[in-house]
Amino acid sequence: MTVLKGVLVERGYIGVFEIEYTLENLQELVEGYIEYVHNKDYVVICNDEGLTKGLPLNRLGLWGKAFILKLNYDTGDFISLTDDELKTVQEEIKRNSFMNA
């Protein structure tokens, strides 16, 4: 069992979150089909239909929950953030500079 550790962002909440790495668990977390967007060194997993489902806007300007991880480009697998990356990402979000980088 692989556990992913990343930053969860939703309306009114930013924090460290751990989840067992399965497609079903990621879909359950974002409440639907997933899509991911790249942001510098990170990947943001979010709901592919968040706007049409009427999910609330989060601090990143995305609809619904967002989960921030990294991507192993050799294998295509999502990977956990290090403790330093968890701290950096949370600080950038609070400064509203994460999606601008």
Query: What are 33-56's pLDDT values in tens digits?
Result: 999 898 878 999 999 999 999 999
Do the domain assignments include residue 99?
A: no
Q: What is the total count of domains within the chain? A: 1
How much is the pLDDT for 39? 81
Host domain of residue 76 = 3-94
Q: Does a structural domain hold residue 88?
A: yes
d(CA 9, CA 67): 6
- Find where tokens 């989060």 sit: 58
Residue 53 lies in a domain: yes
Distance CA 17, CA 28 (A): 14
- The SS3 of residue 69 is strand
Residue 28 is assigned to a structural domain of this protein: yes
Task: Judge if pTM exceeds 0.75.
Answer: yes
Q: Flag whether 100 is in a domain.
A: no
Residue 52 lies in a domain: yes
